[in-house]
Amino acid sequence: MIFLGKPKHKLSDVEVLENYKTSGKPEWLDELFRRYSGLSYGVCLKYLKNTDDARDAVMQVFAKLQSELLKNDPRNFKSWLYVVLKNHCLMQLRASSKVYAEDLEGLKMHEEEDSQEFMLQTMEAALESLNEDQKICIKLFYLDGLSYKELEEKTGYTLMEVKSFLQNGRRNLRLAIERNHETE
């Protein structure tokens, strides 16, 4: 990260911002960068966990500040900047996780039928490992699409029992699938 050294002016942040707004000169933004580039880099590194990404994020945010500071009037620049940096980093993380999710979707679409068949077999085996009450509720609710009320009527269970069997059935299904996955 390129740090430009100590601040050149002894003005407050508010005064530096006023000078930038009235003159539009980039030297006033440079002054804010001198003051807060270290803090900015630390915030971005905290969220992005990568030095290059953190450097890029700081530069992107300070480039965006040229127009943002003309629209906003932060009285506490340091706090405002922290929020801007944090939001920028969170948006970066969301965007990268969305790309990752889209990549995974693409991979899933090209999965072989064997792996799909294996998943079905795993689900069926996990379903069979449930106790009878859980198995009935899971099948009727998820496979047949019955509501809680319809489950009550069809099985004779109370609403509390239906909810309990579904909750415990989901948990036990997940555990059975995880156990099966660990043994592969």
- Give domain status of residue 5, yes or no: no
- 96 and 124 part of one domain: no
- Is residue 101's pLDDT more than 70? no
Mean pLDDT of the chain: 81
- Give domain status of residue 2, yes or no: no
- 90 and 159 part of one domain: no
- 65 and 46 part of one domain: yes
Mean pLDDT of 76-97: 85
- Give domain status of residue 122, yes or no: yes
- In whole angstroms, give the CA distance from residue 19 to residue 134: 69
Residue type present at position 105: E
- 89 and 41 part of one domain: yes
Mean pLDDT of 75-96: 85
pLDDT of residue 184: 56
- 17 and 104 part of one domain: yes
- Is residue 95's pLDDT more than 50? yes
What is the extent of the structural domain holding 42? 13-108
State the angle between helix axes of 77-109 and 13-23 in degrees (0 to 180), rounded to the nearest 10.
Answer: 70
Q: At 73, which CATH number?
A: 1.10.1740.10
- 92 and 160 part of one domain: no
Least confident of 9-23, 90-104, 107-121: 107-121
- 45 and 120 part of one domain: no
- In whole angstroms, give the CA distance from residue 3 to residue 113: 55
- 158 and 129 part of one domain: yes
Q: At 118, which CATH number?
A: 1.10.10.10
Mean pLDDT of 179-183: 68
- Is residue 83's pLDDT more than 70? yes
**Which of 108, 142, 170 is where one domain is finished?**
108
pLDDT of residue 178: 79
- 102 and 117 part of one domain: no
* pLDDT single digits (tens) 19-64: 888 888 888 888 888 888 888 999 899 988 889 999 999 999 988 8
- 103 and 144 part of one domain: no
- 104 and 27 part of one domain: yes
- In whole angstroms, give the CA distance from residue 81 to residue 62: 9
- In whole angstroms, give the CA distance from residue 57 to residue 43: 10
- In whole angstroms, give the CA distance from residue 180 to residue 184: 7
**Which of 108, 135, 156 is where one domain is finished?**
108
- In whole angstroms, give the CA distance from residue 64 to residue 175: 47
Contact between 6 and 34 under an 8 Å Cβ cutoff? The reply is yes
**Which of 108, 134, 149 is where one domain is finished?**
108
Higher pLDDT, residue 182 or 23: 23
- Give domain status of residue 130, yes or no: yes
Quick one: three-class SS letters along the chain? Answer: CCCCCCCCCCCCHHHHHHHHHHHCCHHHHHHHHHHHHHHHHHHHHHHHCCHHHHHHHHHHHHHHHHHHHHHCCCCCHHHHHHHHHHHHHHHHHHHHHHHHHHHHHHHHHCCCHHHHHHHHHHHHHHHHCCCHHHHHHHHHHHHCCCCHHHHHHHHCCCHHHHHHHHHHHHHHHHHHHHHHHHCC
- Give domain status of residue 129, yes or no: yes
- 117 and 97 part of one domain: no
Higher pLDDT, residue 76 or 133: 133
Total domains, the chain? 2
